[in-house]
Amino acid sequence: MHDLEQHLASVQPLLARYGYAAVFLSIFVEGMGIPAPGQTLLVAAAILAARGELSVALLLATAVVASAGGNLAGYWIGRSGGRRILERIGAGPRLTKMESLFDRRGGVVVAFGRFVDGTRQLAALVAGSLAMPPATFFLWNLLGAVVWGGAWSLGPVFFEHHVVARSAGLLHALRPVLIAGAVVAVVLGVRWLRRGAVTHTSG
């Protein structure tokens, strides 16, 4: 909780000076894969909105548009050159397995990966690199932007300040566990696909 309060305090000057523009730009570039305090700024802005210092409706619109737009830009960056990068670093046959896994669960990663640091910044790039169909990405991306933006923009309106802060703090504290869980899930998924491919070949 103390770390969260420090993060919130550190972004207050940005909000005080640039307001919605700071929230929009931070979330947008984060969706492109560039590290930025997008979620922290949104939480801080949401608390201010709950106090009546910012417009809840405008903050929600800002968060959804910036999140969807930033991820869309990240997707096209990945689609334009991401695959070549993966192939150059030796992804090779593993890339095919990753594509299969992403085809099965990629939409969920795009939509709800926003709640996990690391995934929030990279999911769109990976989706583009692995050539997820644009229509599929667009729908899951929009769903994720609405859910994520709504959760952090509207939360303080329906809950007390300390409840929102505790929820954000819990996610912040559990970040290493969530990231480790995601990595384990991907590894297990790839191993499952590999076993299936071996069995199919043997058959």
Question: Tens of pLDDT along 60-105?
Answer: 999 999 999 999 998 998 888 876 766 665 555 655 666 666 777 7
Q: Are 65 and 171 in contact (CB under 8 A)?
A: no
One-letter identity of residue 154: L
Q: Are 123 and 110 in contact (CB under 8 A)?
A: yes
| Confidence band for 198, pLDDT divided at 50, 70 and 90 | very low
Give the containing element (helix H, strand E) for 180.
helix 175-202
Question: Tens of pLDDT along 113-146?
Answer: 788 777 787 888 888 888 888 998 999 999 999 9
What is the pLDDT at residue 82?
73
Question: Tens of pLDDT along 9-22?
Answer: 666 777 878 889 99
φ, ψ of residue 159 in degrees (nearest 5): -130, 160
Q: 103: helix, coil or strand?
A: helix
- CA distance between the termini of the chain: 55
Joined tokens for residue 30: 């984060």
What is the pLDDT at residue 2?
45
**Dist. CA 145–CA 160, nearest whole Å:** 23
- Judged against a pLDDT cut of 90, whether residue 24 lies above it is answered with yes
**Whole-model pTM over 0.75:** no
**Dist. CA 121–CA 71, nearest whole Å:** 8
What is the pLDDT at residue 60?
93
